[in-house]
Amino acid sequence: MSETDPERAARIRTRVAASLTRLDPWFPGDRATGILNEDHEAAILFEEFANDEPCPVLDLDHGTCDLYEDRPILCRTFGPPMRTAEDNLATCELCFIHATTEEIAACELDPTIPAQEETSNEAFNAAHNLHGQTLIAYALRSNNLISDNESCQN
């Protein structure tokens, strides 16, 4: 991306560095690799860890992903309505201000897609000897998509 769209790459680097500055002091895992510790306490901490931290590849001005042309399924599950086991339509109200019931229903996400994605991710991780959970900012840093001097280390 640095060669094809240097301005977009620079925006991502800036947001990743700022995000890591805010997250690093409290990250419940290995800050160098971004891998979450596997103990129960770390899992509990991770549940609420970055809830208030916007994804560093999200362009907040336009609501678009600067990393992927199509937003990943995990990102999309934070807004679209989902059918629950009780067959109720659950939505994030902030995403559907002034929308009709029909408009909301038209945005419904297939609830089987996350399970399909999980199976695909597990196969990829096994094939590449990868393990553990992390956040986008740490993944980008650990994959050398931003250099250490671009991320503010504490």
> Tens of pLDDT along the chain (154 residues)?
667 888 989 999 999 999 999 888 888 888 888 888 888 888 787 777 776 788 888 887 877 788 887 766 666 655 555 555 665 555 555 456 577 878 777 777 667 777 888 888 888 888 888 777 777 788 777 766 555 554 444 3
Q: What pLDDT sits at residue 4?
A: 81
Asked if the structure places residue 152 within a domain, the reply is no
Alpha helix segments (H runs only) across the chain: 6-23, 40-49, 73-76, 101-106, 113-127, 136-142
Q: What pLDDT sits at residue 129?
A: 82
Asked if the structure places residue 1 within a domain, the reply is no
Q: Look up residue 30 and give its DSSP letter.
A: E
Q: What pLDDT sits at residue 153?
A: 44
Asked if the structure places residue 153 within a domain, the reply is no
Q: What pLDDT sits at residue 144?
A: 66
Q: How many distinct structural domains can be found in the chain? A: 1
Residue whose structure tokens are 């994030």? 92
Q: Which domain holds residue 41?
A: 6-142
Best CA proximity match to 57, nearest among 43, 71, 45: 71
Asked if the structure places residue 133 within a domain, the reply is yes
Asked if the structure places residue 60 within a domain, the reply is yes
Give the separation between CA 15 and CA 148, rounded to whole angstroms: 14
Q: What pLDDT sits at residue 17?
A: 92
Global pTM value: 0.51
